[in-house]
Chains A and B, each alone.
Chain A
Amino acid sequence: MKCRVCRGPAVIDIRRHNANFCVDHFVRHCGQQMERAISDFSMFEREDSLLVAVSGGKDSLAIWDMLVEAGYQADGLYIGLGIGDYSDHSGAYARAFAEQRSLVLHEVDLERDHGFTVEQASTATGRVPCSACGLSKRHIFDAVALEKGYDVLITGHNLDDEAAVLYGNTMRWNVEYLRRQRPVLPARNGFPRKVKPLVRLGERETAAYCVVRGIDYLVEECPMAAGNSHLQYKEILNQMELESPGSKSVFYFNFLRNAAEVFGSDTTAESSEGNQEVMTLSACESCGSPSSNDICAFCRLGERVKAESR
């Protein structure tokens, strides 16, 4: 296998691009794909201050590295979720990455700072752990980004993540979620701008980027996520990709190009009459975050865990 650019020995093939790359040109390819996503979707400007949501896994460390290498001002935010050894290990990878590069890493610990863990929340609500985990992360990412004055919150969602979410939402025709299926969620009152600069890279590419850049990341899967529907959708899509390279990319980008507008945007909600109206949010009486209820979902979750433990 030879590199498409220099004809030197290739280390990776990317079948949807019908291309092989050596180490140097693969790293360049990843950077170019990131820059193209930032430009195509007008994600942010070079002078914006960026906060990267860092888990210690391959995607978040890869995007943090790519942004810093490209000269962007990007700090990190790690959330300790209280998932036993998994959280201990993921935090260690995030801290080591930041320390080695002298980068700023903010940390929030769910149990220390909010009084509960994902495991406790899952038990208290009787719902899958990923539900409490996602809710907690979104709340804390938003709150910290606004509190510390960052212009943009960056997440490491890649092409496979977006294709899998789109697959699940389409299978259920979940119109509410299809509205939010964009690589950019604009800032609005109480919410920071959120962007996904890795949407043009598959997770095989982000994992390979970490390997060739010498980035240590947590390889083991979250024990709470095993067997969840998101992972099953990824397996299904990868089977399609094996038979027909480029399937995931066509599925996702043709949705954005040809279908996303049909569902409106996340700042609007369908009224009972079928008209679109702006969703009104007020401040949570407990934490002040925007909420459609008196108490936001995150604070209600915390109250429920405390009630269960009494």
Chain B
Amino acid sequence: MKVILHNPTRELLVRGPISIIKLLNQLELNRESVLVIRDSTLVPGDAILNDDDTVEIRPVISGGER
């Protein structure tokens, strides 16, 4: 499947099927710090992603000194 990442924007190819939790662990990403989006829709943590999926892993942490 195609995985789109941000900061900087880049793409990875990951073999499916794989659960969201496993994908995030494989990419060493904290699930508290990202959302997974497929077809403009949120994908819940227990969903299984397949080879033909394109998913965006969107960081949610933002902000400078406030």
- A interface residues with partner B (beta carbon < 8 Å): 1, 9-13, 15, 20, 23, 57-59, 128-131, 133-134, 157, 160-161, 164-165, 202-204, 206-208, 211-212, 214, 219-222, 224-225, 228-231, 234-235, 238-239, 241-242
Contact = CB atoms under 8 A, between A and B. Distances in A.
A208 B42 contact: yes
Contacts, number: 102
The 7 A-B pairs with the shortest beta carbon distances in the complex, nearest first, are A130-B65, A130-B64, A225-B64, A207-B60, A11-B42, A238-B32, A1-B44
Contacts of B32: 15, 202, 204, 238, 241-242
A163 B35 CA distance: 20
Contacts of A15: 32
12 contacts: A13-B45, A134-B64, A161-B63, A203-B60, A211-B40, A211-B41, A219-B6, A220-B6, A220-B7, A221-B61, A225-B62, A242-B31
B35 A204 contact: yes
Contact of A12 (B40, B42, B65): B42
A239 B9 CA distance: 23
A12 B61 CA distance: 17
B61 to A, nearest CB: 5
A11 B61 contact: no
Contact of B64 (A11, A59, A157, A228): A228
B64 A224 contact: yes
Given A12-B44, A23-B42, A242-B31, 15 more contacts: A1-B46, A11-B41, A11-B42, A57-B62, A165-B66, A207-B60, A208-B60, A214-B40, A219-B6, A219-B58, A221-B61, A222-B62, A230-B65, A230-B66, A242-B32
A305 to B, nearest CB: 19
B65 to A, nearest CB: 4
A244 to B, nearest CB: 11
Interface string B1-29: 00000110100000000000000000000
A11 B44 CA distance: 5
A219 B35 CA distance: 12
Contacts of A130: 64-65
A230 B65 CA distance: 6
Contacts of B6: 219-220
A129 B60 CA distance: 21
A157 B65 CA distance: 12
